[in-house]
Amino acid sequence: MIRIFVTGGTFDKDYDELHGHLAFRQSHLHEMLRLGRSMVDVTIEQLMMIDSLEMTDRDRARIVEACTLAEESQIVITHGTDTMVDTARAIATMCSTCETKTIVLTGAMVPYAFGSSDGMFNLGSALSFVQLLPPGVYLAMNGRYFRWNHVRKNHDLGVFESL
């Protein structure tokens, strides 16, 4: 069983036609898994629905606590890309039970609701990587996985890359 924690980010944003901006309604995760014909046994838990630029230390502590308390040894976290590395660092350095768990954070550069999102591909990659990688904290983006402390987001190219 894989535990999936939802935190928001571009992954789950929708276009709010009334106000002309991106906003959160509900997670697209169930639909993505259904459309992707995923046969992986998962439990989904929504921790929050926020933009990662608005994520606070308290929010990160909540994610760390959820990872710590999770009975599953395989965890995927959907997260905004702008501060994904910061959250991965918090998990890697503050989670007391995570040395025996494989935790993979993933997200999207384009909202799933736009139809041309990278989110579906990144989610599928994260679900595969979490089953194959040894215990540790990783990011899965652009068809690649990265150790939490050897990655950065290249804002100019819109991709993640190794340090």
Residue pLDDT, tens place only, 22-77 = 555 678 778 788 888 988 999 999 999 888 888 999 999 999 999 999 999 999 99
pLDDT for the residue 112: 66
Please state, in angstroms and rounded to a whole number, the distance separating the CA atoms of residues 29 and 8: 10
Structural domains counted in the chain: 1
- Report the C-alpha gap between 47 and 50 in whole angstroms: 10
Question: What is the token pair recorded at 70?
Answer: 């999770």
- Give the domain CATH number at 144: 3.40.50.1170
**Confidence band of 20 (pLDDT split at 50, 70, 90):** low
* Entry pTM: 0.90
Which residues neighbour 71 within 8 Å (Cβ) at sequence distance 6 or greater? 3
**Overall residue count recorded for the chain in this entry:** 163
- Structural domain harbouring 47: 2-162
**Residue in this structure with the two tokens 């997260």, named with its chain if needed:** 79
